[in-house]
Amino acid sequence: MKSIWALIQLEFRMEMRRKYALGGAFLYVLSTVFIIYASLQNFKELPWNALFWIVALFIAVNAVAKSFASEQDGTQLFLYQMASGVEVILAKMIYNTLLIFVLFTLALLAFMLFLAIPVMHYGLFMTAIVLGSFGLGIVLTFISSIANKTDSSAVFTAVLGFPVLLPILLSLIKLTQASFMLEAESVGNDIVILLAIDTILVGLILILFPLVWKD
């Protein structure tokens, strides 16, 4: 537990040391939303939903793709000696989930600032954002660890990640769509499915990551 906390702090400190990465993500959100604002004056819920998740997906991929790439061989070796694989991946998953959640919230604020927001049930929408950042965080963290074994890790994070993320994204899109409706739809099934996918993936990743990590 203690080492996981230390690893999360390490991640955070690394992030702070490279402020340009985080700043880049913030600017990415703002410029995308501004382009949408400039090109579309008034639009309906469905395009809003589509654009929100496209922006969200790309922010998440950009933020997490460097998760393993930034570590030099020396850091890897040091971590390998100091902590177990399970601890490393848990710390990275928790950190990336939090990072993606912050970025998603920021994207939501930017959407609110520039574009009229059609959300009726904020509780449901925030549930979708929390579940989404959790799902995207764990999958992208693991996929980026796989992609890091290739020469072009950024490309492979997107290529390998997109089909694996699709079941999660489809359920998320349904959730946010339901949050636009005046009358609340029953979305219990979708939430259960999302939680099921996330749980199964976390379990598998904890088993599989040590195999990816040892080199």
Partner 1 sequence: MIKNWWKYLAVVLILYCIVVGIMRPLNPGILQVTPISFQSGTTQELIIGTYNTNFEPQQSIDAFIKINDAYGIQNTKLEVLAPNELKATFDIPAKLPNILKRQGYSLILSADKVGSFARPNAVTIVQKDLDLDGAMAAWPSNDFGNFKRPEKLNFPFRAILYESLRNLFYHVPMWFGMTFLLMGSLGYAVRYLMTNKSSFDTISKSMIQIAVLYGILGCATGSIWARGTWGTWWTFQEIKLTVSAVTLLLYFAYFLLRSAIDDEAKRARISAVYNIISFVAAIFLLFVLPRMVESSLHPGNGGNPGFGGEDLDNTLRTVFYPAVIGWTLLGFWLAQLTYRTELLKDYFLEKYD
| Contact positions vs partner 1 (CB under 8 A) | 142-143, 146, 149-152, 156, 159-160, 162-164, 166-167, 170-171, 174, 189-190, 193, 197, 200-201, 204-205, 208, 211-212, 215
Nearer to partner 1, 62 or 171 (CB): 171
We find the least distance from the C-beta atom of residue 1 to partner 1, in angstroms, to be 26
Residue 52's nearest CA partner among 35, 33, 78, 69 is: 33
Nearer to partner 1, 15 or 71 (CB): 71
Nearer to partner 1, 25 or 143 (CB): 143
We find the least distance from the C-beta atom of residue 132 to partner 1, in angstroms, to be 16
We find the least distance from the C-beta atom of residue 212 to partner 1, in angstroms, to be 6
- The pair of structure tokens assigned to 117 is 């927001």
Nearer to partner 1, 9 or 199 (CB): 199
Distance CA 56, CA 110 (A): 12
Residue 105's nearest CA partner among 47, 154, 59 is: 59
We find the least distance from the C-beta atom of residue 130 to partner 1, in angstroms, to be 20
We find the least distance from the C-beta atom of residue 181 to partner 1, in angstroms, to be 15
- The pair of structure tokens assigned to 53 is 């998740």
Nearer to partner 1, 13 or 214 (CB): 214
Q: Which amino acid is at 175?
A: L
| b/e 72-97 (16+ beta carbons within 10 angstroms → b) | eeeeeeebeeebebebbbbbbbbbbb
- The pair of structure tokens assigned to 201 is 């993936």
